[in-house]
Amino acid sequence: MPKTDLYAGLGLMAFGLITLFVLIPAQTSDGGDATISPALLPQLCAIAITGLAVLLTLQAAGKIKRGKAAGQTVPAAEWASSAAVIIAVGVGVLLFKYVNPAVAAGLLILGLMLYMGERRIYFLIGIPAVLLIGAWLLFYKLLGTAIG
């Protein structure tokens, strides 16, 4: 998949350079009297990632030039499903923080079930209820910890 490799290579090159020249200097101290700078390993990794990303980009560009550009793409359904999962979990976190843990968990499960096409009312009510009661029994009663 040379085209996706080309994009991945370019993205990683940018990531490596930003890490090396912006993030590491801004987010790492010089170490003062330390014999070895705290930035040593992150810098080595960033340099190596950038170098390898250049190789990946060149390799992919070469393949495209030779006419081997065909490759697999991510199906639209998978983009949509990944976005749905992220949105559901994100909304769940917000509800957890600002409303109630039980409401957040219940709506997270319910939302995903509806998204996946489940319409049977007894499952839509039963599964979140069983899970919430099960989690409460397991974590609050049996293991003695608390969520929320």
Partner 1 sequence: MLEELSSVAGSAFAVGNLAWIFFGVTLGYLVGALPGLGKGTATAVAIPLTFYLEPLSAIAFLVGISKGSTAGSAVSAILLNTPGEPSSTPTAMAGYPLARAGKAQKALKMGLFASVLGDFFSTIVLILIAQELAEYALGIGPVELTAILAFSMVFIAGLSGRSMIKGLIAGLFGILVSCVGLEVETGSPRLTFGLIELYDGLPLIPVAIGMLALAEMMTQIGQRQRLLDEADLLKGSSKREDQIVTLDDWKKCFRPILRGSLIGTVIGILPGLGASVGSFLSYGAERRASGRGADFEESGAIEGVAAAESADNAVVPASFVPLFAIGIPGSVIAAILISAFVIHGITPGPLLFLENKELILGVYLSMIAAGVILLFVGYFGQNIFARIVRVSPALVMPVVVFLCCVGAYLQGGGTFGIGVMIIFGIIGFFAKKYDFSFVTFLIGFVIGPSFELSLRQSIGLVTNASELIDHPVAIVFAVMAVVGVWRLTVMQRKQMAEMAKSQTN
Q: Which residues of 99-112 are buried (b: 16+ CB within 10 A; e: fewer)?
A: eebbebbbbbbbbb
Binding to partner 1 by CB under 8 A, coded x per residue (else -) over 61-80, reads -------x-----xx-xxxx
Least distance in Å: CB of 66 to partner 1?
11
10 binding partner 1? (CB under 8 A): no
Cα separation values, 7 from 4, 61, 71, Å: 5, 10, 13
Which residue among 10, 17, 28, 103 contacts partner 1 (CB under 8 A)? 28
Q: Cβ distance 120 to 97 under 8 Å?
A: no
Task: Read off the tokens for 110.
Answer: 């319910």
Task: Read off the tokens for 10.
Answer: 């370019």
Site size for partner 1 (CB under 8 A): 70
Q: Which residues of 59-95 are buried (b: 16+ CB within 10 A; e: fewer)?
A: ebeebeeeeeeeeeeeeeeeeeeeeeeeebeeebeeb
Binding to partner 1 by CB under 8 A, coded x per residue (else -) over 82-121, reads x-xxx-xxx-xx--xx-------x--xxxxxx-xxxx---
Site residues for partner 1 per CB under 8 A: 1, 4-5, 8, 12, 19, 23-24, 27-29, 31-32, 34-36, 38-42, 45-46, 48-49, 52-53, 55-56, 59, 68, 74-75, 77-82, 84-86, 88-90, 92-93, 96-97, 105, 108-113, 115-118, 123, 127, 131, 135, 138-139, 143-145, 147
